[in-house]
Every structure is written in structure tokens, then in C-alpha cells.
Amino acid sequence: MDLPDWLNLTSWAVALEASAVGDWMRSSGWAYPVVNLVHLLGLVLLVGPMLLLDLRLLGAGRLFALSEVSAALTPWAVIGLLLLLPSGALLFAADAGPLLGNRLLQFKLLLVAFGIANALLFRRLWSGRLHDWDWRPPRAGRLQAALSALCWLATATLGRLIAYD
């Protein structure tokens, strides 16, 4: 049974690669390098603050109130994510057909989805109780923080490895 064209990821990827955006990303002398730098900036702005926040959630840096650390770092992580998503889509457009079948990219995208879902769940479960963490960090929350750190480090690693696959 064939899927409708709009559900066929291969057709969608080939069309994206053949689009004006895909062509621009491949043919412009500056587009790909600039978008790649924006993607790298987004990576730094997401992963750096997330790791610092996760480490604080795990008990490091107790000199700093967790609620203040979270308030200071979370906006930077959000800005990083907002840079990563569109720049990643543009980078994908340059070579969408072959990249669609790349297992490293598939796993990276799965980890991105997990990382975002984990962060949203964390906010829902714990954001109102961060002041309690300074005295009694919950085991489930610490597990979420550890998974977050591992997830974003693995995502960054896979993103860098895609270029060598």
C-alpha cells in the first residue's frame, strides 16, 4: 500500500532538497557556512546552559539558589533551541534525500524530541518546587536531570558525527 505523497517522507525530502531553499543552501557560497555557524551557536547556547542547569539540579554549585540558576539559564537554552531548529532544517534541506536515511541523524532527531519532551515534563512537574531542591532534591527529578545531560551531550555528539558518516 502506497502512502499519499504528503505522508511519504522520501518524497518530501527529495522535494525539499530540490526546492529553492535546498538549491540556495547548496549553491550559495555563504549560506551553508553561515547557517552552520548559527547552528553551532544554537548548540552552544542550548547545551551549555542545559548542562550547567542539570549539574546544579544534580547538586553541584549549591552556593547558588536553584531557582535563580534556572531563571538565568533557561532563557539562553530556549534561544539556543530556537536557533537550532530552523538552522537544522536549512542544513537538512541542502542534502535531505541522503540524510533522511542516515541513522545518526534519525537517532539525533529522536534525542532532540526526547530532550524537549523531558524539559517540558520537568517544568510541569518541578518548576513550582525548585526552592525545595536546595534542601531535598527529589530522586525522580535528579534522574530527569541526569537523563537531560546525557541526552543533550549525545545529541551534540551525533550532530558532529553526521558530517563523518
Per the CB < 8 A criterion, the answer to whether 53 and 77 are in contact is yes
At position 152, the amino acid (one-letter code) is: W
What is the band of 155 on the pLDDT scale with cuts at 50, 70, 90? very high
Region 132-145 average pLDDT: 87
Provide the domain limits for residue 57. 5-162
The neighbour count for residue 53, using CB atoms within 10 Å, is 24
Residue 107: pLDDT above 90?
yes
- How many Å is the maximal CA-CA distance in the chain? 60
Cell 541542502 belongs to: 94
pTM, rounded to two decimals = 0.89
Considering its fold, how many domains does the chain have in total? 1
Terminal CA-to-CA distance of the chain, rounded, Å?
32
Helices (H), the chain: 9-18, 20-27, 31-57, 66-94, 96-100, 103-126, 130-133, 139-162
Residue 158: pLDDT above 90?
yes
